[in-house]
Amino acid sequence: MTDTIILLPDHIANQIAAGEVIQRPASAVKELLENAVDAGATDITLIVNDAGKSLVQVIDNGSGMSETDARMCFERHATSKIKKIDDLFHIRTMGFRGEALASIAAVAQVQLKTKRAEDEHGMLLEIENSTVTLQEPVAWPKGTSIAMKNLFFNVPARRNFLKSNAVEMRHIIDEFTRVALAFPEIKFELHANGVPTFQLESGSLKQRIVQLLGNNLQAKLVGVKEDTDYLNIYGFTGKPETSKKTRGDQYFFVNNRFIKSAYLNHAVKSAYQQLIPDDSFPLYVLFIELDPNQIDVNVHPTKQEIKFEDEKIIYAFVQAAVKHALAQYSITPTLDFDLDAGIQQLPSIQQPFTENKKQEAASGKIFQGFTQKNQAHFIERPDKSAIDSWSAFQAPLPAMPATDNDTYIAPELQLPETQSSSGAPETDPIQIARTYILIPDVNGFYLVAQQLAHERILYEKYLSASLGKPIVSQQIMYPVTLNFSAADALLLREVLPDLQQLGFNIEHFGSTTFLINGSPADLKDNEPQQTIDFLLEQYKHFNPQLKISRHEKLIRSMARQQSVKSGTMLTHKEMKQLITDLWNCHQKQLSPDGKNIFLQVDKQWLEQLFQK
Ligand code: ADP
Ligand code: MG
C-alpha cells in the first residue's frame, strides 16, 4: 500500500477555508465594510453590481496600508489587530481573525488600491487565485479601495449556489444596514448598478435608524438608556404599533458588533408582554456595551454569535431597560420589574459589584428594580382605546401556512359528498361565532369559514385581473408619500409592476420613499401605508422554500389582506353575497393556501353520528 495523504496546495486550502467566511456576496460586503471601519474611515462607499456577483467594492478614507501591508493583508492569519491570544479579550475592532481578505482572494479576483497619508503615491495590487498578478504605483487619495470581482469564478459549484439577484441584494442590504446602524457617525453610501441607493450623512443614532428603517418611525421610537457598572445599554425601541408579524427589524449590537441572539430577543419581547400580540415582534436597535473580557467573540467564523460570561444577567438588564423605557413613555401601565426568581437569586444581583460601588449602584433605578420587588412607581395606564385600536390593527391575520408546492393540496374531506349542488344553497344563512356561516340545506347543512371563503373569492378576482384586464385604479386626490425600511423598500420596488396590475399606482420616489397616486377602486380601507405594510408583511410570510412565483405570492397576500376577517359580524345580505360569490368560484372548496373552506354535513352522516 502506498501512502495516500497529501498536503493541499495553499490556494485549495484557502478556497476550502473561504467557505466559512465568504458564503455569498453579502459576506464580502460585511468583511470589507468592517475593515474600513477598523481603519478609522469617516466616509465609506459601497458599490455593488449584479447583486455583488460581478462586483463588490468598498472605498474608504481610512488609514491606508503600507506597501508591505498591502501584500501581507491577503495572507491567511494576517492581521494587525491582535498579537497574542489574550488580546482576544480586549478586542475593540470588528475584525481580528485575519481571514477575510485571504478568503476573498481565494475565491474572487481582487483589486486593491491603498495609500497612507505619509506616502507619496498609492499602491495598486491585483490578485487572482491567491496570487499577486500585478503590483504598481498608482495615484490615489488617502485610504483604501478593495474591489472583489466575479465571486466564485474559480469555484463554479459554489457560484451555482448563489440565489437570485433579488435575494442576494437583500442580504447585502441587511449587512449594510447592520454596519451603518452601528456607526451613525460615519458617512455611508451605497451604489447598486450605478444607482445611488443610500446616502447616509453622519448624524445621530436616531437619524440613522429613521434613514434606514423608515421615515415613519420618526415619532415612534422610545429611547433606551441605562448605565450601570457592569454594562451600559442604549438605543431605541419601537412603540407597540411598530411591531410586526415578521421578525425583521430587531438589532442587537454588543460593543458595536451586530449579533444574533434568540435569547436576548426574547428578553425584549418579554418586556412588551401584553402590549403587543403574542405572535408579533417589536422593533428595536439596542446597543450593549460591556468590558470585552466579559464576552467571547471568537465562537463563530462570521462573529455573529458571541458568548457572554453571564448570560442571565444580560437578559435581566435588557428586559428591565426596555420595560423602564416603555414605562417612562407611559406605554406600559406599571413599572414592576417583576424579575424571574432565578435571576433575582443571581450573585451578581444580590451582591453588586465592588463594596465601595455598592452604595452608588443600589441607588440606581435599575438596581432597585432588580432587588426591591414591587417598589415600582405607578404610571398611569394609557388610554385603553388607544391600546385596543392598535391591537385591532395588529390582530387580524393568522400566520400563513407553508405548503410544499404551488398546486392545491387535495382536500381530505371527512364527509361524504352526496349532494350535487350546482348553485349556491338557497336557504337563509346564520353566522356562528362571527367566523362561520351556517347554511341549512334540505339534506343537511354547510359550514363555511367566512375569511377563507372571501380569500378565495378575492384571489380568483385578482388572478383574472392579473391575467387579463388590470384592476381599475382610482386616482387618489392628493398623492401620499409612503416610507419603508430599506429591506421593505427593496421588496416593494421588486413587486411594483405586479401591484400596478392589481390597481396600485405607486412610484419610487428615491431611497425608501414612494408616492402612491392611485389604489384599487374597491380597496377595503384606504390607508395606503397600512395597506402596503400589511401586504409586504403577508408577502414576507411565505416560506422561501415555497416555489411559487412572486406574482402568485402577491395575489395571495392581497387576497388575505383584503378579506373580511374572522370575527367580523356580517349582515344577512353580506353573507348571501359571499356564498353566491363563492359558489361562482372555479375552486370553491379550498382557500388559496389549500385549506378547506367549508364543511358539508348531510343527513346520512348525522345519522351515523347519532347511531340511528
Ligand atoms: P482582520 O480584519 O481580521 O484583521 P482581514 O483579512 O479582514 O483581517 O484584514 C487583514 C488586515 O488588512 C487587517 O488587519 C488590516 O491591517 C488590513 N486592512 C484590511 N482592510 C483594510 C482597509 N480598508 N484599510 C486599512 N487596512 C486594511
Ligand atoms: Mg477584517
- Cα(81) to ligand 1 centroid in Å equals 8
Q: Ligand 1: which of 30, 32, 34, 38 to mutate, judged by most atoms within 8 Å of the beta carbon? A: 38
- 100-107 vs 10-21: helix crossing angle, rounded to 10: 110
Q: Is the CB of 213 under 6 A from ligand 1?
A: no
Ligand nearest to the CA of 40: 1
Q: Is the CB of 36 under 6 A from ligand 1?
A: yes
**Whole-prediction pTM:** 0.68
Task: Kindly report, residue by residue over 372-384, the tens digit of the pLDDT.
Answer: 333 332 222 333 3
Residue 250 has pLDDT above 60, yes or no: yes
Residue predicted with more confidence, 245 or 173 = 173
Q: Ligand 1: which of 35, 42, 112 to mutate, judged by most atoms within 8 Å of the beta carbon? A: 35
Range with lowest mean pLDDT among 223-227, 314-318, 539-543, 563-567? 539-543
Task: Kindly report, residue by residue over 66-86, the tens digit of the pLDDT.
Answer: 999 999 999 888 888 888 888
List all residues 6 or more positions away from 7 whose beta carbon is below 8 Å from its beta carbon.
Answer: none
pLDDT at 604: 84
Query: What gap in Å lies between CA 79 and CA 34, rounded to an integer?
Result: 13
Task: Kindly report, residue by residue over 459-499, the tens digit of the pLDDT.
Answer: 998 888 777 777 788 887 778 888 888 888 888 988 888 88
pLDDT at 383: 37
Task: Kindly report, residue by residue over 169-201, the tens digit of the pLDDT.
Answer: 999 999 999 999 999 999 999 999 998 889 999
Task: Kindly report, residue by residue over 488-538, the tens digit of the pLDDT.
Answer: 888 898 888 888 888 888 988 877 889 988 888 777 766 788 888 888 888
| Residue 17 and residue 99 in contact, taking contact as beta carbons nearer than 8 Å | yes
Q: Among candidates 440, 429, 454, which has minimal Cα distance to 568? A: 454
pLDDT at 425: 62
Residue 115 has pLDDT above 50, yes or no: yes
Residue 598's identity, in one-letter code, is: F
pLDDT at 20: 82
Q: What integer is the mean pLDDT of 554-566?
A: 87
Q: Is the CB of 313 under 6 A from ligand 1?
A: no
The residue contributing the CA closest to ligand 1 atom 21 is 35
Residue 358, classed as helix, strand or coil, is: helix
Ligand nearest to the CA of 74: 1
Query: What gap in Å lies between CA 562 and CA 522, rounded to an integer?
Result: 10
Q: Is the CB of 104 under 6 A from ligand 1?
A: no
Residue 418 has pLDDT above 80, yes or no: no
Query: What gap in Å lies between CA 54 and CA 116, rounded to an integer?
Result: 28
Ligand nearest to the CA of 105: 1
Query: What gap in Å lies between CA 56 and CA 145, rounded to an integer?
Result: 10
In percent, the amount of the chain with pLDDT more than 90 equals: 37
Q: Which atom of ligand 1 is nearest to the CA of 100?
A: 6
pLDDT at 608: 83
pLDDT-based confidence at 293, cuts 50/70/90? confident
pLDDT at 392: 31
Q: With left for phi above 0 and alpha for psi between -120 and 50, is residue 5 left, alpha or beta?
A: beta
Residue 408 has pLDDT above 60, yes or no: no
| Residue 315 and residue 267 in contact, taking contact as beta carbons nearer than 8 Å | yes
Q: What integer is the mean pLDDT of 13-32?
A: 90
Residue 389 has pLDDT above 60, yes or no: no
